[in-house]
Amino acid sequence: MSKLYSSQAVDAREPGKAHVDGYANAAQFPTEPSYSVNEIVYVQTSGQNQPDGPLVVKAIEDGNMYRLKWQSTGSEYHCLVPEDCLLVLS
């Protein structure tokens, strides 16, 4: 019977099975939204001097993308907004 020395590598994987250490486009774990429906927010994007708003959170879509509407008119904001572009007044 042969001994296994510490300098020898042991591969515990099943023969003939592929193994992947990671994925380039791995899914993000879902996170709790920072804002809630009916909360008043402002949208700040790069290149803007002043944020858009006030807007009201109408719905929260997959990936914490926010569907907003203008507080003054009730009309829907022109696009879904990612969470990191939203601000609230303190």
Q: What is the pLDDT of residue 27?
A: 65
Determine the average pLDDT of the residues in 46-65: 94
Determine the average pLDDT of the residues in 26-38: 84
From CA 44, how far away is CA 34, in angstroms rounded? 16
* pTM (2 d.p.): 0.66
> Which strands form 86-87's sheet, in the order they lie side by side?
81-82, 65-70, 52-61, 40-43, 86-87
Class of the domain covering 40-87 = mainly beta
Domain boundaries defined on the chain: 40-87
Q: What is the pLDDT of residue 31?
A: 82
From CA 86, how far away is CA 82, in angstroms rounded? 7
Q: What is the pLDDT of residue 54?
A: 98
